[in-house]
Structure formats: structure tokens, C-alpha cells
Structure 1
Amino acid sequence: MHSSTPKISTWYIDPDAEDAMADGHAPIWRHLIGLLPEQDLSGKAVLDFGCNQGGLLRHLYAIRPFRKALGVDIAEQSIARANELKGNLPIQYQAGAHVEGWDGEFDLAISHEVIYLIADIEAHARDVWRSLKPGGVYYAVTGCHTDNPLWPKWRDLVAAKTNTVVQDRSITDYARVFEGAGFDVSARKLEFDGFIPFVADGWMPDFADALTYYTQTKVIFRLVKP
């Protein structure tokens, strides 16, 4: 998902799945926001890379209002929908595969379940690095990595259900890439502490897998630009 990545219409081949994905992610977004040590964002600029329909930034503004934000995504219909839903919030959404013309602009960057789809992850790391101010922080969240025991099944489902190309990387692979771009790298497990609904959608072979995934498998990278 960089300059060489073509724009797409929607992430999912079935456009109706976009709304269902946003509904499913909402509790995770709220939990993630609660974990961020950056409490006061009132004077801050925020980047959401791979924003889809913009739900994460809307949730973030409702909980920790920011000065301004940019959401970037390669899915053009998703960006159009994000702009419809933003109302008067200080958010700009744009369709694209990279962050261009925003060097040193952001205090905080976030991506949720995006990095595993980026072919040139080194270029992405440099891209976000350029967009952050010194001392800026990038939170990259994913459970889609080769350390996930469900990954062999999931990579086939992602390929079948979405308009994207899946990448195979481990947690350590990501850490090394971001360290190579100059970030100070740390991470933690998401450790979602809410009730997890039972959803028979084919992604989780067993309900126990869902409980393990959201508490143990999904990780948050905290990447600080010195």
C-alpha cells in the first residue's frame, strides 16, 4: 500500500461487508484508544493510515478530541463514505497509497490491521517517519502475522474476500523494519478486556480461538521518532 499500489474501490469484494467490519472493530478501537498514554490530544495532529470509512478517527475524536486529523486509504468508495460521515469534525480524508506533502506534520499516527497488506513495508515505515514530528509516535496494530496460529487459514480468506494482496511477516519482521527506519520500537499485546461476542463468520474456527486472538495474539507496536 504505497505509491506503487493501485487504488481500489472497496477493501471487501462484497461492499456490504465494509459496514460489518466497522461495527466489529468499534469495541477494539475504543479499547485501543484507552491504552494510548497520550491523554491530551487537543493541540495535536493525528494520522490514520488505512482509515477505510473513517470510524477510528471519529471514535478517537469523541473520546480524546484532537486539533486536526488526516485519514488516508487506497479504497476510493471508503474515502467517499468517510467524508460523508465526518460531519463538522476537523478531519480530512484522502484516497491514496502514501502520505505525500505532510512532512513533519503529525504528532500521532495510527494504523489498525493495515500493515500486513503493505507490499513495500520499508517504504511505508519511511513514509510515516517523514510525516511525524520529532517525538511523534506511530501505533501500528495487527494480529495478522505469521506468529498467529490462524494465519494459514486467514491468509486464504483475506485473498478470497478482499481486493488486496496479503503479505507474510512475523512480529519480529515488523520490529526490524521499523527499527531500520529509525524508530524506537516497543510493543505490547492488545489484551482486549471486554466481552467478545460469538460470531460464526468463518474467521474463527472455534470460539476459544477468538478469545485467544483478542487477548494474546493481536499486538500493538509503539514506534517513536526520536
Structure 2
Amino acid sequence: MTSSIPTWYVDPDAEAAMAEGHAPIWRHLIGLMPEHDLSTKTVLDFGCNQGGFLRHLHALRPFRKALGVDIAEQSVARANDLKGMLPVQYQTDVQLVGWDDQFDIAISHEVIYLIEDLAGHAQDILRVLKPGGVYYAVTGCHSDNPLWPRWRDLVAERTNTVVQDRSITDYAEIFKAAGFLVTARKLDFDGFLPYMPSGWLPDFRDTLDYYTQTKIVFRLIKRNDTEC
């Protein structure tokens, strides 16, 4: 996941629809984070797309500054158009050169399943986090998801990306090997979900099960230098 692409989706109009669908999930995720006061914190959104998550985060828990990175050039351009006066910078350089030990919190939402060199990504995030910093990596795209065989085909058909096959334990092992303290929970969304047929979740029951039982939130902690 190093070279840039024009858009994530083959149909560029799908980008805005994706952000609209993710909005209630982002708000729920923010509510799960124990870091309530972000007024002195620096935040990284890895795979920021059009910047929607950072706009939601700042509205609910204002941060000092943030960086959003994404390989989709048109998405980054749109994020810049929409950011207004927010203290946010966007870029397509996902290698995070020059950002060592800069972030208190890093977040990715439905990104890690697309990263071929996930071990390298884990090392990059560990490098740019401050000691004690936390990485929230959120995904329902894993081989333990009963819809995964169907989704693999849809990702290939609808997006400009290449999907990777990993289980929940595979993710945990890779981040542990990088040096993170690995914890996780189910997203366990507790709000009302709209009925919005899209092909990804073929039955409304699948929608309810996915957002309560299948989608995982990893909370990955960079140990302080004094911790063994």
C-alpha cells in the first residue's frame, strides 16, 4: 500500500456514500475511546479517505492537531476542500516520513485488510506514536467473517485495491510481533442501524450481526520506554 491511486472505488460517487454510511459507526467508535480530552493531543488518521472521521472527531472531542493520510489522490484533495479551519493536514505519503514520535493516537477504519506489508505498517505506526500512544485499528474484513468470500469478490469488482486474507488472530500476531501491547473488543454497535441495501450485507440480519458481532476494534498500545 505504497503507490497512490486516483480513488478507492471504481465509481467515484461511492466515496461520499461510504462516508455517509460510516458516520454512525465513527461516532460509536469515538464513544468507545477512553481518551476523552484530546485538547493537547495529536491524532493520525491512516486511510482518511475524504476526511470524514477527523471532522467527526474534532466536533465531538476537539484535538490540538491531526494528520490524515491516504493513497487515493482525489480523496485527499476532497478532504482538503472540506476541512475548513480545522487544524488538520492531509497527504498521500503513507510512509509517514518525518513524523517519528509525533502522535498520541492513531486510527484506521477498514484499512488494515488492504495492506500487503502489514508488519511494515505496524512498525511505521509504532515509530510515529509517542511512548504510551494508542493505535485503534478497526476492521470487520477478516477471514472469520462469514461473508468474507463474498466480500473478497466485491472488493475486487468495485474498488481499485487488492485485498489480503487474514484472520483476527493473524492481525493480533502481526501487531504483537511489532512490539504493541495488543487488546481488542467487538465494535458492539448499540444504536439503530438503517436498512440500506448495498450488496455488501445481503440480508438485514447480516447487517445487525456484522456491526454487533463481527467488526473488531483493536486497541494497540506502544509501551513506555520503562515498560518491559
The interval holding the TM-score normalised by the smaller chain is over 0.9
Aligned partner of residue 224 in structure 1, secondary structure? strand
Distance in 1 (CA, whole Å) between partners of 2:163 and 2:193 is: 26
Hey, what does 1:146 align to over in structure 2? 143
* TM-score, L = length of structure 1: 0.98
RMSD: 0.6
Aligned partner of residue 163 in structure 1, secondary structure? coil
Within the alignment, does 1:194 sit opposite 2:191 as a pair? Answer: yes
Distance in 1 (CA, whole Å) between partners of 2:68 and 2:94 is: 11
Matches within 5 A, 1:46-195: 46-195=43-192
TM-superposed deviation, 1:44: 0.3
One-letter amino acid of the structure 2 residue matched with residue 195 of structure 1: F
Hey, what does 2:203 align to over in structure 1? 206
Within the alignment, does 1:27 sit opposite 2:24 as a pair? Answer: yes
Aligned partner of residue 222 in structure 1, secondary structure? strand
Q: How many residues align?
A: 223
One-letter amino acid of the structure 2 residue matched with residue 22 of structure 1: A
TM-superposed deviation, 1:199: 1.4
Asked if the contact 1:44/1:67 (under 8 Å) is kept, the reply is yes
One-letter amino acid of the structure 2 residue matched with residue 65 of structure 1: P
User: Alignment partner for residue 10 of structure 2, among 10, 13, 16?
Assistant: 13
Asked if the contact 1:116/1:168 (under 8 Å) is kept, the reply is yes
TM-superposed deviation, 1:201: 1.2
Asked if the contact 1:198/1:207 (under 8 Å) is kept, the reply is yes
Q: Gaps (5+ residues) in structure 2?
A: 224-228
TM-superposed deviation, 1:8: 0.2
Hey, what does 2:226 align to over in structure 1? none
Distance in 2 (CA, whole Å) between partners of 1:182 and 1:151 is: 28
Distance in 2 (CA, whole Å) between partners of 1:41 and 1:50 is: 20
Deviations 1:179-201 (A, max 9, x none): 00100000000000111111121
TM-superposed deviation, 1:100: 1.4
Aligned partner of residue 196 in structure 2, secondary structure? coil
Distance in 1 (CA, whole Å) between partners of 2:183 and 2:126 is: 15
Deviations 1:178-226 (A, max 9, x none): 0001000000000001111111211112110000000000000000000
Aligned partner of residue 7 in structure 1, secondary structure? coil
Asked if the contact 1:72/1:98 (under 8 Å) is kept, the reply is no
Asked if the contact 1:7/1:97 (under 8 Å) is kept, the reply is no
Aligned partner of residue 55 in structure 2, secondary structure? helix
Aligned partner of residue 71 in structure 1, secondary structure? strand
Distance in 1 (CA, whole Å) between partners of 2:156 and 2:167 is: 18
Structure 1 runs of 4+ with >6 Å offset: none
Distance in 1 (CA, whole Å) between partners of 2:94 and 2:130 is: 20
Percent identity, please.
74
One-letter amino acid of the structure 2 residue matched with residue 181 of structure 1: A
Distance in 1 (CA, whole Å) between partners of 2:99 and 2:158 is: 32
